[in-house]
Amino acid sequence: MSSNIRINKVCQHCNKVFIAKTTVTKFCSDQCAKSNYKKRQKDARIEVSQIDTERQLSEGKQQIKSVSRDSSAAMVGTSGLSAVTGLSERTIFRLIKDPAFPRVKIGKRLLFKKDAVIDYLTSKYGNL
Ligand SMILES: [Zn+2]
């Protein structure tokens, strides 16, 4: 019964006007239908890879964010303290032999409160 229907439609692939036999026909030919299907799959793949790229970019940004958050943290390890004070890690290891050097020991991890270390250094060496 659908064979009696004749509808002027525009092919969604080549934009040619054609006579459709059913209301759901979107393409003038099988060729256009196939080409369009392939194109859609390609577009979908591109979209997926774009989403992947965007996700990777945003993950990268988050990593940068967490790194910079670490470096601005109040507590740092010896390498972080080295970056904060401009002293070499070797110098820091020498300085922390002083029992008065402010430190926080959590298990085996040695941490330093930046403010306390800066106060300690300026009060001990600042007047020299
Ligand atoms: Zn077509």
**Residue ranges of domains in the chain:** 2-70, 73-125
Tell me how far the alpha carbon of residue 111 lies from the centroid of ligand 1, in angstroms: 70
Q: What's the pLDDT score for residue 92?
A: 94
Q: How far is the CA of 4 from the centre of ligand 1 (A)?
A: 21
Q: What is the pTM of this model?
A: 0.43
Distance between CA 108 and CA 28 in Å, rounded? 74
For helices 114-125 and 78-85, give the axis angle rounded to 10 degrees: 50
- In the chain, DSSP assigns E strands to 7-10, 17-20, 75-76, 104-106, 109-113
Structure-token pair, residue 82: 């080295």
Structure confidence by residue, pLDDT tens digits, 88-123: 999 999 999 999 999 999 898 899 999 999 999 999
Distance in Å, CA 33 to ligand 1 centroid: 7
pLDDT digits (tens, 9 = 90+) for 5-29: 788 999 999 999 999 988 888 999 9
CA 97–ligand 1 middle distance (angstroms): 82
Cα 18 to ligand 1 centroid, rounded to whole Å: 8
